[in-house]
Amino acid sequence: MAAIWEDPLLEKDTYQEQIYKVQDYIEKHLDMVLNVELLSKVAGFSHFHFQRIFSLITGEPLYAFIKRIRLEKAAYMLLTDENRSITDIALSVGFSNQSSFAKAFKSRFKMSSSAYRKSKTDYNKSAFVVDYYEGMDMRIEPLSVEIRQEEDLQLVYVRYSGPYKGDSDLFSELFDSLYQWATERELITESSRWFVIYHDHGDETDEDMLRISVCLSVNRNVAVSGKVGVMTLCHGKFGVGKFYIGAKDYGKAWYHMYAVWLQKSGYTAADRCAFEHYPAQDELSDKQLVEICIPLIET
């Protein structure tokens, strides 16, 4: 893959931020018509070069990415909002009709959307509760759980695509990279907040396609380029579970919030991204204070 970037038109670090901007735009506008003409303008690239750059940076053709994100989000919504009709879900993620959605869904998941919804809910599985945890002791107690309203928040971030589960060294590298970049620009203040945003819905995404963003809140406009991007954490209601955990306990914390707390809470998960928030803690420790934040449908 490295040899691709010998092409002088394609310096990977130069174009990452623009492509990430396009990915974020797609995620927030799945119900719209998304075509090369529109998305090349979002990226600031010529129509001629855009699809090639997108594919080389992400490892996935543009329209394949759009279709995959639409179907994975639909699968998530089928499980987390059981009262919502399949047709409504199909339209909300950008399919023009239920027939085209049914064909695409069956091709991707090897079963109909109704069968998918039934097969998962019959086993009382939320979208974040995967077979990997079957038979494991997932018991963990949060320090507290609350409902929180977040306002729009501007974030700078570094993004990673690929396998990440259980890789604490990877997360440390991402945090260190953003910390160094932000420190050089004097962006870190007493009010700064740190997040990890998970862009994919549920456990249906192939590991090589998973995406995470390590983020820092900023209170002023920031010029970004290359590996560092800027985005908005949109306002909304969240179920927030606070945990004090070791590196091997993150899966348990997510399991608790989705498979235990959410099931009993009476709330329905929204189709926005879930994330971890890292409040300041008073002392260094092998354990980390972390808040697992699940987006909730406004009622």
Q: Which CATH superfamily is domain 144-296 in?
A: Regulatory factor, effector binding domain (3.20.80.10)
Does 65-123 carry CATH code 1.10.10.60? yes
Q: Is it true that 65-123 and 144-296 share their CATH fold? A: no
Does residue 2 carry a pLDDT above 70? Answer: no
Average pLDDT estimate for 150-159? 95
Does residue 87 carry a pLDDT above 90? Answer: yes
pTM of the model: 0.87
Q: What ranges do the domains of the chain cover?
A: 2-59, 65-123, 144-296
Supply the pLDDT for residue 165: 86
Report residue 60's pLDDT band, with 50, 70 and 90 as the boundaries. very high
126-148 pLDDT, tens per residue? 445 554 555 677 889 999 999 99
Query: What mean pLDDT is reported for the chain?
Result: 88
Beta-ladder partners of 245: 288
209-238 pLDDT, tens per residue? 999 999 999 998 898 878 899 999 988 999
Supply the pLDDT for residue 47: 86
